[in-house]
Amino acid sequence: MGAGKVCGTSSATAADYGWIPSSFVFPLGLEVGYSLTLVRGVPPEEVLRVMGAEPAGVCRGADELFERQEELVAEADEWDESFIAGVCAVPGEGGDWALVLHFDGGIGMRPRFLETLSARSRAVTHSSNGGKPIHTFDWYEDGELRTGFEWPTVRYGSAPDDLLPMMRESGFDLREESDVDTYDRKAAVLALAERLTGVRLTEDLLDNSAYLLGHVPEEPAQEWTSVVIDLTDANGEGFHREVTREQVEHAMEHHRAERDRPLRLDEP
């Protein structure tokens, strides 16, 4: 797909989302962390299945969804990265889209979920990590991350420049050094998402939709196989070495054996 070849029927701009500073969802989402994802042609039940979620009933409106997340946190013995996701079907370009919303503290929609959900389809997601200036946007097509960014001038993915025309039309300031209000940039993100999906987000839609809920478990810890030691001293001399897990475990066993060995009186 070449630059400028992405098409959409919406002509949304940041001005269409001037309501978000006074809404419930976005001020709260920017404070505590949120993710909002749109997936074309995937039913809510299938979205939760892909996310590995345990069914958690239904709720109406984003405020009740937030309350369910707060209950989950209050009931937990210790903090983890599980969260309550709410999903509903909304009309958009080419049919229904699944809208996935969670106040997750900044975890975001996991890439492996997006790769699966966007297979032979499209997914667009944006998020904030809550209280810190990290706001991400990702566009997936056919299971592949095409364009993603935190700062709009620093993009990644297999087609990082394909959205540039849409970004300009949506209201992004693409100058290298640009001091843009958080809400203005978020409004441009929502306009870009609408151009890619045809879904017009409104306060009424977010506040009054019936969400199917699921408890998404924490990601299992990954087994590590090696560590890299990379040091530079005050003289600029470097030391770089990769140490395997087997080497670390062998050294630890040797240390324990030496520590537990009885001390001989004739040893220094």
- pLDDT tens sequence across 23-71: 999 999 999 999 999 999 999 999 999 999 999 999 999 999 999 999 9
Dihedral (Cα; 104, 109, 110, 111), 10-degree rounding: -160
Please state, in angstroms and rounded to a whole number, the distance separating the CA atoms of residues 143 and 117.
Answer: 7
Mean pLDDT taken over the chain: 87
Residue 251 confidence (pLDDT): 66
The pLDDT of residue 3 is 44
The residue among 116, 147, 138 whose CA lies nearest residue 42 is 116
Model confidence at 143: pLDDT above 60? yes
CA distance linking residue 243 with residue 226, whole number of Å: 6
- Please name every residue paired with 62 in a beta bridge, in sequence order, or none if there are none: none
Residue of higher predicted confidence among 195 and 107: 195
Amino acid at the residue 170: S
pLDDT of residue 234: 59
Q: Are 95 and 16 in contact (CB under 8 A)?
A: no
Give percent of the chain above pLDDT 90.
66
Top pLDDT among 41 and 218 is at 41
pLDDT (0 to 100) of residue 132: 74
205 CB-contact burial (10 Å; exposed 0-12 / middle 13-18 / buried 19+): middle
Indicate the Cα dihedral angle 159, 163, 167, 172, nearest 10°.
Answer: 0
Higher pLDDT, 147 or 267: 147
Those residues with Cβ within 8 angstroms of residue 130's Cβ, 6 or more apart along the chain or in another chain = 29, 30, 31, 32, 33, 34, 105, 106
Q: What is the pLDDT of residues 197-215, one digit of tens each?
A: 999 999 999 999 999 999 9
**What's the pLDDT score for residue 41?**
97
Q: How confident is the model at residue 248 (pLDDT cuts 50, 70, 90)?
A: low
Task: Please give the pLDDT value at position 189.
Answer: 97
Do 167 and 183 contact (CB within 8 A), yes or no? no
pTM above 0.75, yes or no: yes
